[in-house]
Amino acid sequence: MSLNNDIGFFRVLLTIILAMCLRIAPLTGDWALLNPDWVLLVLIYWSLYLPERVGIFHAWIFGLLTDVLLGRMLGQYALAYSLIIYVCLKLHKRLRQFPLLQQGLFIFFCLLLSQILLFFIKNLQHPAQLQASFWLPVFTGTFSWPLVYGLLSFVSMFRRIKQ
Amino acid sequence: MALLVTEHVNSKLGGIRTTISIFVDPLKYLVSLPTTIVEQLADSATTYRALKAENERLREEQLIHQTRLLKFAALEKENIRLRALLENSFKLGEQVLVAELLSVNMAPYEHILVVNKGTRFGVHPQQPVLDANGVVGQVFRALPFTSEIMLITDPNHAIPVQVNRNGLLTIAVGSGQLNRLILPFLPSNADIRPGDLLITSGLGGTFPQGYPVAVVDEFTAQPNKAFATITATPKALLDRNRELMIVWSKSVPVPLIAKPTVSEEGAPDVVK
């Protein structure tokens, strides 16, 4: 059983690594502005459907990795991710029952919260003027939630069949 | 967790960042792999004929540059001599490392590039970065396997420059657009006009003196304001380059009356 659990977590790890790769994908021009926060989406999915495996600590660790990956101030993604995963873990029983549309709304608020936090931290660092496009990933992230949901539920289904 | 954010204000977490980056940096290489493969395929697919033509062209170019360099060496000597007469010191000899760009996109609203050379090659923050046409930016953060380079057009970047024609000193600030620099600190009656070449002034100590930065393309005097609005276009091909040069400028200036044999040799270069 424990071996199976390890394989389950290995799968989580793999999807998150993939999400990190997507996060720094070399998109050109305006497409780069639309690139959503894939890592957070994947983390939210796993925290909803595998809450006993993915906790706040994992979110914090992956947030820290994202910080270094994106060259941000150390700890800002860690903070945002762990806060949001905390909310997700609290509500995961209810959220799992929601239809996709309602889930999407929740995801929207999660992404918005994370972006607001990042914006706030950035402003603390040095008051910067940001374009409105800073908020675009929130919307694209919400729209790509069904995609993430579909792909990852396929991945987790695959695991269950294997068991 | 909020502790971490506040801790970083003291910026003592460089070590932790370095450690974590060892895990994360392979991802950057992984992501830029497809681009690299495509490029290498394109390279290996060029015909023998094209290669030969290119080779010939390059050889010609090299010859021309070589002859120019001969003259340049003599001029350099003369310059040192004249400066010695003026009791001035002269910096020369720069070591260069060619770094290749990783096609990675970190923050869309910041102009930061990632290259494949890091502290393992001796790269350190605040080193100037050039390309064949001019100044590109400076090393912003050096990690073991990669380093981040802030372009001169980043909104948070400023570079001390000098008008090549008359030596007028000013500062060029990044605008956030890849093809534009702003010179916000010149009065309306400043002697500067479109087409003027801006070179690094060497003030501030980060950039070595005399490298081309940008060409002034617009000068608008504003009668009701203290400063004119001046924009310039960077000389370096900021968005079309894959190879950049990281520069070590010799921090010790050549003494007033130079021993000519020593100052001649320059640095033991990686690539000259």
Nearest to B104 among A24, A73, A76 (CB): A24
A29 part of a folded domain = no
pLDDT at B269: 43
B35 vs A: CB within 8 A = yes
- Please check whether residue B170 lies inside any domain of the structure: yes
* Residue A109 covered by a domain: yes
Q: Nearest residue on chain B to A22, judged by CA atoms?
A: B31
Beta carbons of B244 and B97 less than 8 angstroms apart: no
Answer whether residue B90 shows pLDDT above 60: no
Look at residue A3 in the predicted model and tell me its pLDDT: 46
Q: Point out which residues pair with B234 in neighbouring strands.
A: B214
What average pLDDT does the structure give for chain A?
A: 82
Q: Do B107 and A17 touch (CB under 8 A)?
A: no
What pLDDT does B259 receive?
Answer: 47
Q: What is the mean pLDDT of residues A148-155?
A: 85
How many contacts (CB atoms, under 8 Å) link A and B?
Answer: 81
Q: Is A71 close to B148, i.e. CB distance below 8 A?
A: yes
User: What DSSP string describes A38-98?
Assistant: HHHHHHHHHHHH-TTTS-HHHHHHHHHHHHHHHT--TTHHHHHHHHHHHHHHHHHHHHHHS
Query: Between chains, do A75 and B104 touch, taking CB under 8 Å as contact?
Result: no
Q: Do A74 and B13 touch (CB under 8 A)?
A: yes
Q: Confirm whether A79 is domain-assigned.
A: yes
Which residues of chain A have a Cβ shorter than 8 Å from any chain B Cβ? 17, 20-21, 24-27, 32-33, 35, 60, 64-65, 67-76, 78-79, 82-83, 121, 126, 128-131, 133-134
pLDDT, tens digit (0-9, with 9 covering 90-100), for B154-174:
888 889 999 988 888 899 998
Identify whether A33 is part of a domain.
Answer: no
Of B5, B27, B112, the CB nearest to A76: B5
Where does the pLDDT of residue B62 fall: very low under 50, low under 70, confident under 90, or very high at 90 and above?
very high
Predicted local distance difference test score (pLDDT) of residue B6: 56
Contact across the interface for B107 and A70, Cβ inside 8 Å: yes
Residue A28 lies in a domain: no
Spatial distance between the Cα atoms of B80 and B254, rounded to a whole number of angstroms: 9
pLDDT for B100 beyond 80: yes
The predicted structure's pLDDT at residue B141:
85
Least confident stretch, A111-125, B101-115, B197-211: B101-115
Q: Which domain holds residue B187?
A: 158-234
**Per-chain mean pLDDT for chain B:** 79
Among B4, B108, B141, the residue with its CB nearest the CB of A71 is B141
CA angle B152, B154, B160 (to 5 degrees): 40
- In a domain, residue B22? The reply is no
* pLDDT attached to residue B111: 82
Tokens of B198: 């801006």
- Average pLDDT, integer, range B221-250: 82
Q: Which of B19-23, B59-63, B144-148 has the lowest mean pLDDT?
A: B19-23
CATH of residue B179's domain is: 2.40.10.350
Residue at A14 is within a domain: yes
Of A30-39, A118-127, B142-151, B187-196, the least confident: A118-127
Domain containing A150 equals 2-22+38-162
